[in-house]
Structure 1
Amino acid sequence: MHRRLEILAKTGYAVLGDYRGPAISPREWERLEYLEWKSGGDTNFAPLASATGELDCRGFWDHGKPDKGGIWTSNREIAPSLARYVESIGGEYGRVRVIKLNPSSEQEALRCLHLDDNNRLNPDGTGWVVRSWLELADTADQTVFILREDKNDPSTETRIPLHPGKQVVIDTERLWHVVWHPGPKPRYALITSWESSPVIDNWITSQADPTQLVSVG
């Protein structure tokens, strides 16, 4: 009942080439105002765009909106390069936020596998909401995105190694997902909700890099 991205039809995700735009200073994500909000581990989030423009991590449905039409918060002034990255893609975005993920063990991460609730109140006939990630901080080589078709079946698992500049798009309402980050420092990434559209499809197609994919199981 929603428009979907054909490029995600087979696997539910797309691994893109690394970000090659203007350098983004670590000061942008380090100086943001973070809120305590737990999702997929020991996390804090800095909202850059929310449903109302306030520093709010709640779902847009709490304000009677689908996860679209994001309004920039005061954090935009601290991280203008991150905001420009989102705007340069050109699609309709909803939640935009930076995640700060503290280190965990692999088993702790696997216990946090989850699905997102991206499309509550999303009208039929409009674009399905998916999410993109842009890795920001330098992380250990072992940091990986773990995706599963079946939460309890490791044979359905795919692991995507993460490093600064890595870009990934995932239908997180379809795939169980979590990031295992062994540390030692926190991991930071920009997460953006996107409405599926020709603009987003073209962006993914122009940058997709399946050679960076690692599958297990």
Structure 2
Amino acid sequence: MKFNKKDLKTLTNIIASRRDVRGNNFINKKISSKKLNTILESALHAPSVGYSQPWRFIIVDEEKRSLVYKHFSKSYEKSKEKFKDRPLYNNLKLEGIKESNINIAVYYKKSSNNILGQTYMKRTGEYSVVCAILNMWLTARALNIGMGWVSILKPKKINKIFDINKKDYKFIAYLCFGYTKEFYDEPELKKLNWDKEKKLKDCILN
């Protein structure tokens, strides 16, 4: 299959329009099973070291969602101490656990066998799962569905909530999906002047 300039432009627009969506932007509208499957299927096409395909997903029910939110709330309050020199932090909405339509916990499935390409860089399996997450993020955006990645969570607590054995699995991400009021023209933290945008020249090591 070959692609053309129009395909490249569409892909570029999707990538540039991806946003981390928080609870102040989700709306009460359900995601169809078909669209959820499309998002999950896109993850399966991500590159994986040694074709290990180590990603695993949990579609979170309401009971577990409440427990995750309770844990997040405690973690968020503790995290404020680390940003006490930046008052803006206290006013940021950093998750959409309750407001989003679907929550998905993403895990890395550890292997007891040797994995091709993982001999010296053990964490490449985890990187593969992150690639799968990005596929989901971009696919959701192409479907005009927002996604937020909640990271103020302790893996040990999340494992306990989902009764996951850390010997077999490693927690990678907690994702929130839902339709939105809008997609901002720029990343929210950029709009709030949390940090300056880096240019390509800033990211190349000489």
Q: TM-score range by the shorter chain?
A: 0.3 to 0.5
Rg larger for: 2
* TM superposition score normalised by structure 1: 0.33
- The structure that is helix-richer by fraction is 2
Q: Which has the higher contact order (CA 8 A, sep 6+)?
A: 2
Structure with greater strand share of residues = 1
